[in-house]
Amino acid sequence: MRTATLGPLGEVSRLTLGGGIGQIWGEVTHDEALATIYAAIDAGITLLDCAPTYRNAEAFLGEAFGGDPPAGVKFTTKCQLGSPNPRDVPAALEASLADSLAALRLPRVDVFFLHSNLHADGFTYAHGDANKDRFSTALSIYENEVVATMERLKADGRIGAWGITGIGVPTAILAALDHTPRPDVVQVIANLMDSPGALKRYAEPAKPREIAAAAKARGVGVMGIRAVQAGALTAAVDRELSPNSPDRADYDRAAPFRALCARWGADPAYVAHRYALSLPNYDTVVLGVKNRAELAMCVAAEAGGPYSAEEMAEIDGLGLAG
């Protein structure tokens, strides 16, 4: 499998195994989850991305390797901090990390992410603003508390690097990338619709490609996420969605994409992952797969290499981005 340099982590595989194996997105048995983890390692995947919110992902990874993962395999986890009282931030981050390390059976992780959205102080979300202190972190808390705590955890050797999940308000994400110390890694939407789907609570455009380019220009590693946009870019969504769900709206809007895939004789999930891997500025793409069959399709997409300029233009010509 191809590799790329992910900020200070150095070389990692172009595919990252994500939290789908944690029994959170569709049904998967315990044995199949473990088998998928082992198959990912056998396929050359060297980066494993999890979080406490991904249900059993951390525990399954801890069980799979028993605290002794293969050489060269790296781990990330996250903390959904929100906007607590600033004085409580260090303890909250440290407690979340300690719980994750215990579940993973590891003394350290390679990247620890702030998983919250980011927003400027005083910002009003278009959707869910009353709950923003639960899902989003104010920039003042990020700059004054989160960054200092992350840098201390790195200096203490409990994490190798730290990052942010770049699905919050784009202007706030870009501000965080300009703040020093900068995050080492950022996770950014990487799909042909440029869509965060149901994760988008703000009114302004998402701007994922601008964020990825800004990160790379500043030496920050970029992990692409949501390549199939929560199933909107697959042949069929594998769960019930409300008719009013943004993910359902994306699935309906992606009908021309599925028609193109039919003409190409390719599965939409394969094309969506290969498209994400063909984008500039993204070092690795995180997979939401939950079993070995889904993993095999993604591994085949990576093996297919980047799409040609003509193929990318044909997909982009569908007008689904933005």
String of DSSP letters for 14-43 = SEEE-GGGGSSSS---HHHHHHHHHHHHHT
Global model pTM greater than 0.85: yes
pLDDT digits (tens, 9 = 90+) for 108-131: 999 999 999 999 999 999 999 999
Between 55 and 278, the higher pLDDT residue? 278
Q: Using 50, 70 and 90 to split pLDDT, how confident is the model at 319?
A: very high
Residues 150-162, mean pLDDT to the nearest whole number: 98
**Using CA atoms in the order 6, 25, 43, 234, what is the torsion angle rounded to 10 degrees?**
-90
What is the reported pLDDT for 30? 95
Residues 188-193, mean pLDDT to the nearest whole number: 98
Q: At a CB cut-off of 8 Å and minimum separation 6, what does 213 contact? A: 280, 281
Let me know the angle formed at the C-alpha of 281 by 52 and 22, rounded to the nearest 5 degrees: 20
Residues 140-164, mean pLDDT to the nearest whole number: 98
Percent of the chain beyond pLDDT 70? Answer: 100
pLDDT digits (tens, 9 = 90+) for 261-315: 999 999 999 999 999 999 999 999 999 999 999 999 999 999 999 999 999 999 9
Q: Are strands 11-13 and 3-5 parallel, antiparallel or unpaired?
A: antiparallel
The overall average pLDDT reported for the chain is 96
Evaluate the omega torsion of the peptide bond into residue 256 and state whether it is cis, within 30 degrees of 0.
Answer: no
Q: Could you give the CA distance from residue 185 to residue 191 in angstroms, rounded to a whole number? A: 19
Query: CA of 97: how far to CAs of 51, 64, 127, in Å?
Result: 10, 19, 29
What is the reported pLDDT for 322? 80
pLDDT at residue 190 greater than cutoff 80: yes
Q: Could you give the CA distance from residue 231 to residue 24 in angstroms, rounded to a whole number? A: 14
pLDDT at residue 239 greater than cutoff 80: no
Residues 131-147, mean pLDDT to the nearest whole number: 98
Give residue for tokens 């069959």.
293
Return the H-helix or E-strand segment holding 133: helix 132-135
Task: Return the domain boundaries, the chain.
Answer: 3-316
pLDDT at residue 207 greater than cutoff 90: yes
Between 205 and 27, the higher pLDDT residue? 205
User: What's domain 3-316's superfamily in CATH?
Assistant: NADP-dependent oxidoreductase domain (3.20.20.100)
pLDDT at residue 241 greater than cutoff 80: no
Give residue for tokens 């990576």.
302
- Residue ranges of alpha helices (H) inside 167-282 are 170-178, 208-217, 246-253, 255-264, 268-278
Return the H-helix or E-strand segment holding 103: helix 89-104
Residues 78-85, mean pLDDT to the nearest whole number: 98
